[in-house]
Structure 1
Amino acid sequence: MKIRYLIFTASLLIIWSCSKPKEINIDSKKLLKNLQILSNDSLEGRFFSKPGNYKTQKFIIKKFKDVGLQTMYQNNYLQEFSYTFKGQKRQDVFPIEKPTENLSNVSDTTAIGGNIIGMLKGETNKTIVITAHFDHLGIKNGKIFNGADDNASGTAALFTIAEYFKNKPIHHNLIFAAVDAEEIGSLGAEYFLQNFKNKENIVLNINLDMISHSDYDPELFAAGLYHYPNLRKPLEKIKSDKLKLLFGHDAPENKEQSDWTFSSDHRVFHREKIPFIYFGVPDHKDYHRSTDTYATINKGFYIESVKVIIQAIENFDVYLTD
C-alpha cells in the first residue's frame, strides 16, 4: 500500500512539475521604472526627429551600454538615417509645428532619425532580431501623447530581455533593435533591414508593440502563425498562470479579427520573407490618445507579458537551431 502511495505521489509531482509555469527572474521594478521614464512628459511624445525623440535615443543608448550589449556600427549603437519627404512642406509632414514664413515655399522636407542597435553574440552566425519602436505621436493641440503602451512598453522590455540573456549561453545572435519612425511608415525598421549585412542569416523577427495594456481578460496575442505555422510549437510550450497567450490576428480571411500582418515593424521583415512573431494587444480605449500614459497601463500584466516573451525567445533559440 505504501509503495502504491509513493508511486502515485511521484506521478502527481511529475504532472505538476510539467504543468508548472517556468520561473523567469527579472527586475520588475526596473522594468516599470524604464517604462515610466520613456513615457514621461519630458520626452514630449517622442515624435520622429523632434527634441524629445533625440533625448529618447540618448536614454536608450545609455541603457544598452549599461547592459553591455555589443555595438554593430563603428563602435556606436546609433544608426542614424535621413528621410526626405518629396514634394511636402515641413508643416505638412509635421503638423504639430507652427508654419513659419521661411519654410512655406520649401517643396521637400528632410528629417533625421536614428535606430539604436545592440547585440548579444551567440554560438552560431544565425540571428534573431528583436524589435520595438520607440517613437510616438508627439504633441497635438497642446496635449502630449506619451505612448506608454505604444510603444514605451516594447522599448523598455528590450532592456529587461537583454539583461536576462546577457550571461546565458545562446545559440543565435540576439540583436536588440529600438527602431525609429514606425508611426510614419516603419522608416527605421526599413533602413535597418536594407543596411543589414548577411540578411540571409536572420531566421526570425520578434516584434514588440503594445504589450502592457489589457483592461479585461489578461490576453497577449502572438501573431504570425498563419504565415509561419512551423513556429507554433515553441509558443505552445510557454506556460503562464497570469495571462493567456493567444494566436491570431494574422489571417486575412478571418472577418472576426483585424489582420495585424502589416500593422507594425514586422511587416518590413515579412516582405523580405523573414519569419516574424508579433507580440501585442488589440487596440484599447487609450490607443493613439493622450490618455495612453503610465497610469493607464496594467503593471502586473506587463511584467508577465515580458516573462512570456522571454520564454518565447528561449524556446525559439533552441527550436530554430535544430
Structure 2
Amino acid sequence: MKKLLIPLFAIALLTGCKTANVSDGTSNISIKHDKAFSAAYKMINKEDLKKNLYVIASDEMGGRDTGSPGQRKAGEYIVNYYKSLGISYPKALNSFYQKVPSEFMKKRGGGNLPDSENILAFIEGSEKPEEIVVVSAHYDHVGTKNGVVYNGADDDGSGTVAVMEIAKAFQQAKKAGNGPKRSLLFLHVTGEEHGLFGSEYYSENPVFPLANTVADLNIDMIGRDDPANRGKQYVYVIGSEMLSSQLKIINEAANKRTNNLELNYKYDDLNDPEQLYYRSDHYNFAKHNIPVAFFFDGIHEDYHKPTDKPEKIDYPLLEKRTQLIFATAWDLANRSERIVVDKK
C-alpha cells in the first residue's frame, strides 16, 4: 500500500464453506445448495496461496520495484499461472500486458521510473459479457535497499495471490459449464507504491469502457493482523458504501454466509486521519464513479520493512478473506441486474 505522501488538506480537494443466500433484497441470486458456487469456492485454499506467495515474495524477485527485473520476473510467473489455467487476456490487448510508460509516471511525480506493465487476465461472461467486474491488486513493492530485499509478502503479495486464486475459482466454474454471467477482469497493477500509477493509467486508458465497469474489489494487504486486532478473524473494508447503497449489503451478506469474519469499518471514513480511501488502487476507479470495496488488514509492525516476509503470513486467515472476496465477486457477476450507483 502506498504511504501517505501528500498533505491531508490536498486530499480534501480530491474527489469449510457454509453456503446460503447472498442477496441484498433485490438480487435473485442464491448460493444455497448451489453446487456451482460450492465447487468453485472450494478451489480457494491456503496451500495454493502459500505456494504462490513464496514465489512472488521470494528474494529472487528483488522486492518487485516498479519496472525492475524482479518485478518483470514476478509478472512472468503471474502470466504463466494464468496460462496454465487456460485463462486468457482481453482481446483488445493481444497479450496479458498493458504498458505503463515511464513518461506517464514521470509527469505524475514518478521520477525516473522505467517503463512497466499492468497485467490483465480475463474471463468473459456468458450473458452480459460487456459488463465488467474488476478484482485488483498491485504486484509491485519497494525493491531492494542497501542490498536488503524488501519482499512485500503482505504488501501486496497477499493481494496478488488472492486475485490469482479467485481467478482459478471462477475458471473452475466456467470449465464446469457455470461461468459468470458478467465478465471478470483480474487486474494486477504496477506503480502503486510510487503513486497509484498503474491503476491511474488503466483508468485513463481503459481496456473496457468505464461506463461498463460494475465495481472494483481491490485487495491490498490481507495476510496479517494489526496490533488492534491481534488474533482476531477480521478484515477492514473501506469504501463499500461510498458510491452504491448495495455493495456493502452484498459484501456483508456474502460474509455472513461464508466465514463470518468481523468486518471492521474503522477506516471507512473520508475524514479518517489515515485517509486510506485515497491510498490504494480502488481510488482510481472510485473517482470515476465506479463502486469499490477495499479489503485490508491494517498497518502492522512489518509494513514497508524488510521483515514483511512470507513466513509471517497467517495463511488460514488469508484463505478466509480470499473466500469472502470471491463470494462477493460471485454475486456481483451473477446477479440479474448490475448494482446501482446512487451516491456521490
Taking the TM superposition and a 5 Å limit, the aligned residue runs for 1:1-322 are 24-26=41-43, 27-72=45-90, 73-84=92-103, 85=106, 93=111, 109=112, 111-122=114-125, 123-124=127-128, 125-166=130-171, 167=174, 168-196=178-206, 197-214=208-225, 215-228=230-243, 229-237=245-253, 238-239=255-256, 240-241=258-259, 243-254=261-272, 258-319=274-335, 321=337
Kindly provide the CA deviation profile for residues 279-298 of structure 1, in whole angstroms up to 9, marking residues without a partner as x. Answer: 11111111111110001111
Q: Is the 8 A contact 1:234 1:319 kept in 2?
A: no
Change (3 A) 1:172 1:291: same
1:18 Cα deviation from its structure 2 partner: 7.5
Which moved further from structure 2: 61-70 or 49-58?
A: 61-70
Kindly provide the CA deviation profile for residues 145-185 of structure 1, in whole angstroms up to 9, marking residues without a partner as x. Answer: 00000001111111211110112331211000111110011
Mapped partners of 1:55, 1:254: distance in 2: 37
1:243 Cα deviation from its structure 2 partner: 3.2
Mapped partners of 1:69, 1:30: distance in 2: 17
Mapped partners of 2:289, 2:199: distance in 1: 15
Mapped partners of 1:193, 1:135: distance in 2: 18
Mapped partners of 1:28, 1:87: distance in 2: 38
Write the letter of the residue equivalent to 1:222.
V
Kindly provide the CA deviation profile for residues 230-249 of structure 1, in whole angstroms up to 9, marking residues without a partner as x. Answer: 31221121234473233341
1:17 Cα deviation from its structure 2 partner: 7.0
Q: Is the 8 A contact 2:46 2:315 kept in 1?
A: no
Moved over 4 A (4+): 16-23
Which moved further from structure 2: 203-212 or 62-71?
A: 62-71
Mapped partners of 1:211, 1:129: distance in 2: 17
Change (3 A) 1:248 1:312: farther
Larger radius of gyration: 1
Q: Which has the higher contact order (CA 8 A, sep 6+)?
A: 2
Q: Is the 8 A contact 2:46 2:316 kept in 1?
A: no
Q: Is the 8 A contact 1:67 1:159 kept in 2?
A: no
Mapped partners of 1:110, 1:220: distance in 2: 33
Unpaired runs of at least 5, structure 2: 1-18, 23-31, 339-344
Q: Is the 8 A contact 2:236 2:263 kept in 1?
A: yes
Kindly provide the CA deviation profile for residues 82-123 of structure 1, in whole angstroms up to 9, marking residues without a partner as x. Answer: 1232699xxx94xxxxxxxxxxxxxxx361100110111112
Mapped partners of 2:334, 2:309: distance in 1: 36
1:252 Cα deviation from its structure 2 partner: 2.5
Q: Is the 8 A contact 1:180 1:188 kept in 2?
A: yes
Unpaired runs of at least 5, structure 1: 1-15, 94-108
Write the letter of the residue equivalent to 1:71.
Y
Over aligned residue pairs, what C-alpha RMSD do you find?
2.5
Write the letter of the residue equivalent to 1:77.
F
Mapped partners of 2:306, 2:298: distance in 1: 18
Mapped partners of 1:296, 1:74: distance in 2: 37
1:254 Cα deviation from its structure 2 partner: 4.9
Change (3 A) 1:17 1:63: closer
Mapped partners of 2:93, 2:238: distance in 1: 34
Q: Is the 8 A contact 1:212 1:299 kept in 2?
A: yes
Change (3 A) 1:111 1:301: same
- Secondary structure of the residue aligned to 1:175 is strand
Write the letter of the residue equivalent to 1:117.
L
